[in-house]
Amino acid sequence: MKYMVMMHGNAQAFAEMATTWSPADVKAMIEFMGTVGEDLAAGGELVDARGLATPDQVKVVHAGPDGEPVVTDGPFPEAKEVLAGYWIVDVADEARAAEIAARVSACPGPGGAPLNQPIQLLPVLDAPEGVSD
């Protein structure tokens, strides 16, 4: 079963990381994320993983009346969080996906203390029969 393991952040958290985390803390966090990805790949469970750009780089797109894209800066001001990164994993069951999410949640923050941030798990559905991936 495939799951998307999603880590969210907000503009304040991104700003704090850039201005209050030490370079060693940022390096430890990045190395931690790299190790998670390497371990999942070595175990044959990693489908894809990416860190995403900061919220100030998000664009919101909708189709205009003529079908042409209308692009605005995003996220909307009322958005509390944006997707900061994700892993798509192919695991035996939800329990294994939850183990991975808990590991990601414990990512080190300032001083190496685990952030223990909420991580969302979302099953990735297979394409309906007759529709190719």
- The answer to whether residue 129 sits within a structural domain is no
- For the cut 90, the answer to whether the pLDDT of residue 7 exceeds it is yes
- The answer to whether residue 7 sits within a structural domain is yes
- The answer to whether residue 132 sits within a structural domain is no
- The answer to whether residue 131 sits within a structural domain is no
Q: What's the pLDDT tens digit per position in 8-50?
A: 887 788 888 889 999 999 999 999 999 999 999 999 999 999 9
- The answer to whether residue 37 sits within a structural domain is yes
- The answer to whether residue 101 sits within a structural domain is yes
Q: What's the pLDDT tens digit per position in 93-108?
A: 999 999 999 999 999 9
| Containing structural domain, residue 80 | 2-124
Q: What is the pTM of this model?
A: 0.85
Which stretches of 19-113 are assigned E, i.e. beta strand? 46-51, 59-63, 69-73, 82-90
Which pLDDT does position 77 carry in this prediction? 62
Conformational region of residue 44, where left means phi above 0, alpha means psi within -120 to 50, and beta covers everything else = left
Indicate the average pLDDT of the chain: 91
Domain count, the chain: 1
- The answer to whether residue 74 sits within a structural domain is yes
Which pLDDT does position 128 carry in this prediction? 82
CATH number at residue 41: 3.30.70.1060
Which pLDDT does position 76 carry in this prediction? 65
